[in-house]
Amino acid sequence: MQFRPIPRPIRIVLKWQVIATAGLTLAAAIPWGMNGAISAALGGAVNIVAGGVYGWRAAQGEAGTAGEALRTIFRAEGIKVLLIIVGLWLVLSSYRDIVHVAFFASFVVTVAVFAAAIAVRDVDEHKTPRPAGDEETNRRRTAWPPITRTPRSTSATTSHSFRRARDSGR
C-alpha cells in the first residue's frame, strides 16, 4: 500500500479546527479556569484526531470507479464516527473535572468547521483546479473554442461563428 498525503481541503480544515479549538480553549479559561480550558481542548481534540484519520484513510483509497470511491469514503467515515464515539467515551469517563459546556461547545464547533471542507477547493501547486473526470471530459472543458457533443449552429449571429466566417475570408 502506497501512503499518500492527506488531501489539501482536509489539511486546511484541520488547521481551521486547531485554530477554533485554540480560541475556544482561551475563551473557556476565562470563566472556568484551567478545567474549562482543558475541557475545550479535549472537545476539539476529539474531532481533530478523527478528522485527521478520516483524511488519511480517504487518501489511501484507490478510486478507479465511482463504487470504489464511495467504498473508500464510507470506510473513512465509519472510522471517523468510531473514533469520535471512543474519544467522547474516553474523555467523559476519565476526566472527572470536565466542564461540559466548554467540552461540548468546542466539540460542536469543530464538527461544524469540518463540515466546511466542502467549501475548500482542491487546487494544484499552480493554483489551478485539479481536473476531474476522464481525459475526454477534461479536453472538452479546456478546449477553445469549446468542443461540444452536438454540432454548433452555423448562423453568423454568434460572435464565434462571425469570427470563423471573417477569418475564412467569407
Domain membership of residue 159 (yes or no) is no
Domain membership of residue 166 (yes or no) is no
Domain membership of residue 169 (yes or no) is no
What proportion of the chain, given as a percentage, has pLDDT over 90?
A: 51
Domain span at residue 122 reads 8-130
One-letter amino acid of 40? A
Q: How confident is the model at residue 64 (pLDDT cuts 50, 70, 90)?
A: confident
Number of structural domains (the chain) is 1
Average pLDDT for 6-20: 90
48 and 11 Cβ atoms separated by less than 8 Å:
no
Domain membership of residue 153 (yes or no) is no
Mean pLDDT (the chain) is: 82
Q: How many helices (H) and strands (E) does the chain have?
A: 5, 0
Average pLDDT for 107-126: 81
